[in-house]
Structure 1
Amino acid sequence: MKTIIHAGAGTLAMVLIAGFLTATPISELLLNATAILAVKKAILAGLCLLIPMLAMSGGSGFSLASGRHSPAIERKRRRMKIIAANGLLILLPLAILLYLRAAAGLFDGIFYAMQTLEVLTGCGQLTLLALNFRDGRKMTRGKRLAAAKTLNAI
């Protein structure tokens, strides 16, 4: 069950981040100030789901890895620390500030500098999560193959 929670939470986190990273440039390049504000508000609301998903993914991952040591597990642990720090110290404050500036109609150089930092950091987050996803799939490959053989034998 922990494996399902871990994989599901991590996958949903990746989907949410990809959605944020898609909606941001679309609203900036193709839509108006009202749409940009709506996207910034939706991102803030989405963080209410993203943060618990990242916490569940990290917590279940640490629980699954309890007592185990391997290079893949150590890489995943290091990445999760970076993901948590980036999220809490960079992305969460930026999401709040960008929403407040958009709500005030302040689409200036500061807004776009913060927007650029948010997109770049978000891409980094997505990359780190994808690397963790890849390593997790490699670590569970044997279990998946054994389950497939069992199903084929039935």
Structure 2
Amino acid sequence: MKTILHAAAGALSLLLVTSFLASTIVAELFLTYSAVASVKAVIAATIALLVLSMVATGASGAFLARGRISPIIAAKMRRMKLIAANGLIVMLPSAIFLYLRSADNHFDAIFLTVQAIEIAGGIVQLGLLGANFRDGLRMTRTRRSAARRSTSP
């Protein structure tokens, strides 16, 4: 059950970051300022869900890794620290700033600069989350394979 919670929280985090990033890029490149403001409002309204899913992913991952030593677990833990730092230092403040700025119709050079920083941070976040997701799938396959070998006659 804990593994399922961890996988679900991680998948939700990955899905949210992907949708935030994709909707931001599409709105910026192809849509109106009003659409950009709407995207920023939706992101601001759902950012708490992303934070909760990230916390659930990190906490459940730490619980599952407790007492286990492996290079994959060590890599996942290092990436989670980077994910948390990027989220708290770059992504969250940028999302709030861009929401407030777009709500006031301030689409100026400052907005675009912070938007570029947020997109870059989102790409980094997506890469780190994707790498953790990939390694989690590898660990699950390895564990299942070992379980099958131990129960075979």
Same fold at TM > 0.5: yes
User: 2:26 corresponds to which letter in structure 1?
Assistant: I
- Whole-Å Cα distance in 1 between the matches of residues 4 and 119 of structure 2? 29
Consecutive unaligned residues of structure 1, counting only runs of 5 or more, are: 150-154
State the aligned residue count.
150
User: 2:63 corresponds to which letter in structure 1?
Assistant: S
- Go from structure 1 to structure 2 and tell me whether the alpha carbon gap of 1:51 and 1:33 turns closer, same or farther (over 3 Å shift): same
- Whole-Å Cα distance in 2 between the matches of residues 132 and 116 of structure 1? 24
Aligned to 1:141: 141
Consecutive unaligned residues of structure 2, counting only runs of 5 or more, are: none
- Whole-Å Cα distance in 2 between the matches of residues 31 and 139 of structure 1? 41
Aligned to 1:132: 132
Runs of 4+ in 1 over 2 A off after TM superposition: 142-149
- Whole-Å Cα distance in 2 between the matches of residues 142 and 108 of structure 1? 50
User: 1:35 corresponds to which letter in structure 2?
Assistant: A
- Whole-Å Cα distance in 2 between the matches of residues 146 and 65 of structure 1? 17
How big is the alpha-carbon RMSD for the aligned residues of Structure 1 and Structure 2? Answer: 1.7
User: 1:96 corresponds to which letter in structure 2?
Assistant: I
The residue matched to 2:28 in structure 1 has which SS? helix
Deviations 1:45-103 (A, max 9, x none): 12111100000000000000001111111110010001001101111110010011111
The residue matched to 1:105 in structure 2 has which SS? coil
Aligned to 1:26: 26
Aligned to 2:72: 72
- Whole-Å Cα distance in 2 between the matches of residues 148 and 70 of structure 1? 20
- Whole-Å Cα distance in 1 between the matches of residues 144 and 119 of structure 2? 35
The residue matched to 1:140 in structure 2 has which SS? helix
Following superposition, the deviation at residue 148 of structure 1 comes to 8.1
Does 2:84 correspond to 1:87?
A: no
User: 1:28 corresponds to which letter in structure 2?
Assistant: E
- Whole-Å Cα distance in 2 between the matches of residues 116 and 57 of structure 1? 27
Query: Is 108-117 or 134-143 further displaced after alignment?
Result: 134-143
- Whole-Å Cα distance in 1 between the matches of residues 118 and 22 of structure 2? 12
TM (norm. structure 1) is 0.92
Aligned to 1:105: 105
Aligned to 1:152: none
User: 2:40 corresponds to which letter in structure 1?
Assistant: K
Q: Percent sequence identity over matched residues?
A: 50
TM (norm. structure 2) is 0.92
Aligned to 1:5: 5
Matches within 5 A, 1:41-80: 41-80=41-80
